[in-house]
Structure 1
Amino acid sequence: MTDAQQLINYARNQFNEIAADVERHFDLVAGNLKERFAKPLSAPPARRLPPPTTWQLAQRWMYKHKALTAAIVAFFVTGSVGAFVYVKSRDLKKKRRAKRSQSGARTDVVVVAGAVTNPLTNALYLDLERRGFVVYVVANTSEEEHFIRSQSRADLIPLSLDLVDPFMAQNQLARFQNLLGSEQRAFDHAEPHRLNLIGLVVVPDLRSNPARVEDISSEEWSDALNAKVLHTIATTQHLLPAVIEHKANVLFLTPSMTATLKPPMHSVESTVYGALQGFTSSLAAELKQDGVNTTWFKLGNIDIPAATAKQRRDGVPAPRLKPTPLRTLHDQVFDTLVAKRPSRTLHVGRGSLTYDIIGSVMPPSFIAWMMGVGSRPRIVRDTSDDDLQGSAGSLTWEKVDQERLDA
């Protein structure tokens, strides 16, 4: 055998070995793949859903019982409306009367400080006397004392308070405190009882004639601040010892519709309102430390029968929006006087809460647009006390709407 033939045989053997190795490798791979795919694939574990919530269960139940759900909703809506109407009617029919002693004598005392001839103040202290309180009305002059006595009410008594002479005022209030501390008898051989001061009702006079700031003299500013701000502060200051001693509730009643909007031509009323607001807030914080509650009544448009009757006689048309009845204010005042924890602020009267929100939240540009931009407000000089409708000189809803339409 030649060398060339030996080389060819060697190459053929090497090739056969390589081909055999490749074939064995492919057979091994094919066997592995066959075994792999022959076994069934295991499914991934099922994901467990969280348990349904109470709201989801309720939704499923409502979806399955649509008719019954509608009936239940209708029942609750009707019942809520009926309960609201019932509570309101019961509240109106509720008899609000002051406590009496075993002998039938009146024991609860209320002091009212404000403009005596003001229709709102007059209606307030007359209603308190009818409800069974012994009402003392602060009188600074002999004319005011005569006016109070002319009401011919046995338990409506003037409380003389001379603010010009502080020593005289202290002596007058000392006699009043001695009267509260001494025993009283309704009749001979009756059980003695003591008078209890349960409340001080302050009705500041915020009325002022509309005028531009440049037309108000310094004397008018001084008179307004003295008569409306300092007079209220001095009266309250003199009565505080008795209030703190008896833990009586303090009520401030102020008209708020005009003052919260701060319209033009009402700078005096807005200034007085702001000063009394700061005084009331500070006083409430101080009295809270002594266990005395202070409530600020923000009054809106209230129907005062005396003022309404005079307006009808004068031919003034009735307002389009009916004012809040005066009885609502009287009921709120009574509930606040006898409450142990009365509210800090109460809105009584149509427009009070609405204008308070507008004046505190809305920008001045919106208020100016509402009042009528570019139009001069008409000056209406109301000097009569009988023209008071919640507050003399205050803007009612109808006046504001009319000025906006005229603009």
Structure 2
Amino acid sequence: MSADDQAFLDVLSSIPTDLKRYSADVADYIDKSVEKASEVLRETLSKQPWIPESMRPKPPPPEPVFIALPTSAYEKVQIWVSGHKILTGAIVLTTGVVLYRTYKSTKHARKTRKAKRARSGGRLEVVVVAGSPSLPLTRSLSLDLERKGFIVFVVCNSIEDEMMTQNMARPDIRPLTIDITDPPSAGASIERFASYLQDRHAPVPGAKANHLTMKAVILIPSLNYQTSPIATIPPSSFADLFNTHLLQPILTIQSFLPLLTARLGTSAEKTPPKVLVFTPSIISSINPPFHAPEATVCSALSAFTEVLTAELRPLSIPVTHMQLGTFDLAGFTPEKERGASSEKRNVSGGYHQPGLIMAPPSEHVETLTWPESARHVYGRNYVNQSSSAISAGRIKGLRGSPLRDLHNAVFDVIDGSKTSPVVRVGLGASVYGFVGRWVPRTLVSYMMGIRQVDEVPSWSASSAHGSPRPGSAGSQYVGSGGGSDLGVETSQDFVSIPMEHGDSQVWRESFVG
């Protein structure tokens, strides 16, 4: 059989099937048409009066009428949820996370925090706070730890620090005098303190004497820094800053390392003391313009803490880096001091004390003391950045976290509830950490009011004749850190060189003997 014959037979075999389908479609159409025509005819005849009642066909039943009943709130919610499933899932997830965190924070706040005591009621645990007693943070933390049952020793470097510690009027807050600038004297002070810990102490005469246990060493460096363009900060101010804010904390920890790495007491099962290092984290997270002192010192302290952690980890001595946000320290700042700080803030736009929320100054007088060229190049951006909502380590309009959050976090680190090497606490600590890691720096600078400077003064030849030296009449450099004047210089190592027409000024080294 040929291919043409096979094709013809295939066409003939498909004819019955197609004919059956077409005939079924035609029959269905005819049935529907006849049924519709019969319904129309029945309805028409049922309305004719000339047809007798007995012979008149009954009209078709009316179509059912659906009455829209008002839906309840529950039904509306069901309808909305069925139409927005993805959004509903996101809302449920967010609500669950918020409720869980609220439950955890409530449970965390209600936790009982008390230091271990002897059966006779005497105190057994010692905490060393290495911070200036003049800092509100040092005073508040010392008082809280003493209230929770610790014996608190505050490291003092001078007679004034000892007097401030004694003025707290707490028998278990005691000064620990250590002169870190004199290594032999510092070593002798540490030996006396170690002997004190190894001796037995009775809370009252006649009671059982017990050994004391050192639980932690808390390092609180200075939290006040000047804000100013790098070009207007004298080099001697940088040297003083590194000595007081960076070198002094490092030497303090170095003095305590022999005591930390030694096991005091007779029991080998005693847990080693913990080391807590406090640093402000807002400025060092984003490194904004005009904050070189704080950004440099805090970054160096963070690196030092990481190295210290790596060195003490094999000795099972935990080191915790406490990254601080903004706190409300109004309760630990005297009213007179707050008034003076507010006054200085009006005079010096860069002054900032963490925890005190003050309105930005209406006029930045500090920029008037800068050289003309520095004021022209940096002045507008400095004023914009200083008055922005997120400048100087503060969030405009917010008072800061309560100190209770810091107190609870410190106790949880001491008793081992928190084992993380980095603990962020305080308003803005976590947010600025996220911003510093993921948000582009150009966007952060733009949000802080930094704009492009289009007109830059041209360089001109300088003349050293008649140039005033720093500290002399007609030459004054005002720093804004901590409300102190760091710029009035008496050193002869550097001289200021005024440019023609007063449009520029630079620092250069003087080789004059």
TM-score (norm 1): 0.71
Q: Is 2:257 aligned against 1:232? A: no
1:100 to 109, 117, 136: 117
Give the aligned CA root-mean-square deviation in angstroms: 3.4
Q: Which of the numbers 130, 133, 152 marks the counterpart of 1:135?
A: 152
Per-residue deviation, residues 128-174 of structure 1 (Å, max 9, x unmatched) = 11111000000000110111011111000100001121111100110
Note if contact 2:180-2:255 (Cα within 8 Å) is conserved in structure 1: no
In percent, how many aligned pairs have the same letter?
A: 33
Count residues with an aligned counterpart. Answer: 324
1:355 lines up with 2:372 in the alignment: no
Q: Deviations over 1:272-301 (max 9, x none)?
A: 112111110000011111001111111111
Distance 1:84 1:118 in 2: 32
Structure 1 partner of 2:448: 371
Correspondent of 2:314 among 286, 289, 306: 289
> How much does 1:384 deviate?
5.0
Distance in 1, matches of 2:204 and 2:117, equals: 14
2:74 paired residue number? none
SS in 2 for 1:154: coil
Q: Structure with the greater relative contact order (CA < 8 A, sep ≥ 6): 1 or 2?
A: 1
Aligned partner of residue 430 in structure 2, secondary structure: helix
Partner of 2:419: 342
Would you tell me which structure has more helix in proportion to its own residues?
1
1:6-405 residue pairs with structure 2 within 5 A?
A: 84-246=101-263, 247-306=272-331, 310=335, 316=358, 319-339=396-416, 342-374=419-451, 381=480, 383=482
Q: CA deviation at 1:101?
A: 0.7
2: CA distance, partners of 1:75 / 1:216: 53
Q: Provide closer, same or farther for how the CA distance between residues 308 and 190 of structure 1 changes in structure 2, counting only shifts above 3 A.
A: closer
Q: 1:382 to 1:279 in 2, by over 3 A?
A: closer
- Describe the shift of the 1:308–1:226 C-alpha distance in structure 2 as closer, same or farther (beyond 3 A): closer
Change over 3 Å in CA distance of 1:84–1:201 after alignment to 2: same
Whether contact under 8 Å (2:131, 2:220) holds in the other structure is yes
Aligned 8 A contact 1:199 1:249 in 2: yes
Distance 1:312 1:151 in 2: 19
Structure 2 vs 1, CA of residues 186 and 370 (structure 1 numbering), >3 Å: closer, same or farther?
Answer: same
Task: Please give the per-residue CA displacement for 1:189-209, whole angstroms capped at 9, x wherever unaligned.
Answer: 322211100111101114222
Q: Under a length normalisation based on structure 2, what TM-score does the superposition of the two structures give?
A: 0.57
Kindly provide the amino acid, as one letter, of the partner of residue 329 in structure 1: L
Q: Distance in 1 between matches of 2:94 and 2:438?
A: 33
Cα offset, 1:187, TM superposition: 2.2
SS at match of 1:383: helix
Question: 2:432 is matched by which residue type in structure 1?
Answer: Y
Q: Distance in 2 between matches of 1:117 and 1:82?
A: 40
Residue 362 of structure 1: CA displacement? 2.7
Asked if the contact 1:199/1:243 (under 8 Å) is kept, the reply is no
The answer to whether the Cα contact below 8 Å between 2:156 and 2:176 also exists between their aligned partners in 1 is yes
Corresponding position of 2:26? none
Mark the runs of 5 or more structure 1 residues left unpaired by the alignment: 1-24, 31-36, 38-65, 67-72, 386-407
Q: Which runs of 5+ in 2 are unaligned?
A: 7-12, 14-81, 83-88, 264-271, 344-357, 360-394, 454-477, 485-513
Deviation per CA, 1:385-407, whole angstroms, max 9, x where unpaired?
Answer: 9xxxxxxxxxxxxxxxxxxxxxx
Q: Which residue of 2 aligns with 1:60?
A: none
Deviation at 1:345, TM superposition (A): 0.6
**Larger displacement relative to structure 2 (367-376 or 334-343):** 367-376
Is the partner of 2:216 in helix, strand or coil? strand
Residue by residue over 1:293-317, the C-alpha shift from the partner in whole angstroms, topping out at 9 and shown as x without a partner, is 1111111111113367749865945
Q: CA deviation at 1:114?
A: 1.5
